[in-house]
Amino acid sequence: MKTKLDYYRIFYETARFSSFSSAAQHLYISQSAISQCIHQLETDLGLRLFARTRRGVSLTTEGALLFEKISTAMEAISQGETIMERLRHLESGALSIAAGDTVTSHYLMPYLEKFHANHPEIRIEMANSYSANMVRLVKEGKADLAFINLPMEDEALTIEPCLEIHDVFVAGKNFRAKKKYTETEIAELPLILLEKNSSSRHYLDTVFSEKGAELSPQIEIAAHDLLLRFAAIHLGVACVVEEFSKESLANGDVQKLCLASPLPPRHIGCAYIKDRPLSLAAKAFLELIRGGEQE
């Protein structure tokens, strides 16, 4: 049971070549080595494995039985090595990312596209959820990376900010905006906000209540894009992320309201388990995000 495994590889090749000398050539070792190796194997196993004939060797009944098993073993190992090779060159593998819809479509999309272009054979798995849930996915190893709203603290995670975002208030184009709004004035507008369970909303409420203003929106919805759509048709004033609203702002569907003191910027961060190496695919994707030169 403690026979050198390397002997089996030699046995394998020798059996395939039916010759000590040609196997030796193929393995770049001397014929003598093969001879000794097989001899050793036969001694260890207590069985004759090869019948020595004038022209090379041939497997005995017992040797043939061993060869069956060793073949599958060697093939499995070879497969494993091939897989490792491919993994190393990112020609295979999987990338599992957890991120909210908004972040995915307005931020990650181009990176995903590029990553897929660079590594078309890597399967990309996206998981959509709330921040807390995404963190859980990462901790359970079900996702490599999670893109979440900061701030977020977790002992077990490395969290690095990757995008600065700005919360702005927008209204439809016919809305008559004042030059500047104070927090209190904003609070009096007919607001369209995200639902209370979202971290963005939670953040917003916190900021405003610190300024002594309570937000009581007329409309609460779950999707960022709908905020823009609702604002565009003058259902109210929405608080959106400027970076995720470029299109609507650019084509004039909505206008941005000026605040006396703009809301402090927030960050989108990328979270992954601290003491566990990222999969190569995840590492590569992270490099892409960071703006590093991709291989």
Q: Is 236 left (phi over 0), alpha (psi -120 to 50) or beta?
A: left
4 belongs to the binding site for DNA (CB under 7 A): yes
Handedness of CA 142, 144, 149, 151 (dihedral sign): positive
As given in the structure block, the two tokens for residue 118 are: 């660079």
* CB nearer to its own copies: pick between 142 and 196: 142
Q: Phi and psi of 52, rounded to 5°?
A: -80, 120
Find the binder of DNA among 13, 16, 40, 172 (CB under 7 A): 40
Binding site for its own copies (CB under 8 A): 1, 3-6, 8-9, 45-48, 51-54, 58, 60-62, 65-66, 68-70, 72-74, 76-81, 83-85, 87-88, 93-94, 144, 275-277, 279-280
Find the binder of DNA among 12, 15, 38, 67 (CB under 7 A): 38
158 Cβ neighbours under 8 A, 6+ residues apart: 271, 272, 273, 274
Cβ proximity of 213 and 187 under 8 Å: yes
- What element of type H or E holds 125? strand 123-127
Cβ proximity of 19 and 9 under 8 Å: no
* CB nearer to DNA: pick between 57 and 138: 57
Q: Of DNA, its own copies, none, which one sits near residue 276, judging by CB under 5 to 8 A according to partner kind? A: its own copies
Cβ proximity of 156 and 144 under 8 Å: no
Q: Of its own copies, DNA, none, which one sits near residue 68, judging by CB under 5 to 8 A according to partner kind? A: its own copies
Pairing of strands 157-165, 57-59: unpaired
* CB nearer to DNA: pick between 48 and 86: 48
276 belongs to the binding site for DNA (CB under 7 A): no
* CB nearer to DNA: pick between 198 and 279: 279
Q: Of its own copies, DNA, none, which one sits near residue 233, judging by CB under 5 to 8 A according to partner kind? A: none
Question: Nearest approach, Cβ of 11 to DNA (angstroms)?
Answer: 11
Find the binder of DNA among 1, 2, 6, 295 (CB under 7 A): 6
